[in-house]
Amino acid sequence: MEHDSEGDYPHCYFKKQPETPEEIGRAISACSISCTKAVRYAGDDPAILRGMRQAGAWESCDALVD
């Protein structure tokens, strides 16, 4: 994840989409520890959805939130 302080407001974003299991695990971890829930997953990959649930990050996943 990168932090960008340029522009009107600072924000974090993924500079490169995670590809390996290790990168995906770190991305899921980032979602689960984000205090503002600003890091989100908008996909529907079943393995990632399982990981999001297991990490307690379901609120950071569009497919798991109404």
pLDDT for position 9: 57
- By the 10 Å C-beta count (0-12 exposed, 13-18 middle, 19+ buried), 47 is classed as exposed
pLDDT for position 65: 80
- Find out whether 39 and 30 touch, Cβ atoms under 8 Å: yes
SS3 58: helix
Q: pLDDT tens for residues 6-46? A: 556 566 677 888 999 999 999 999 888 887 777 888 889 99
pLDDT for position 42: 86
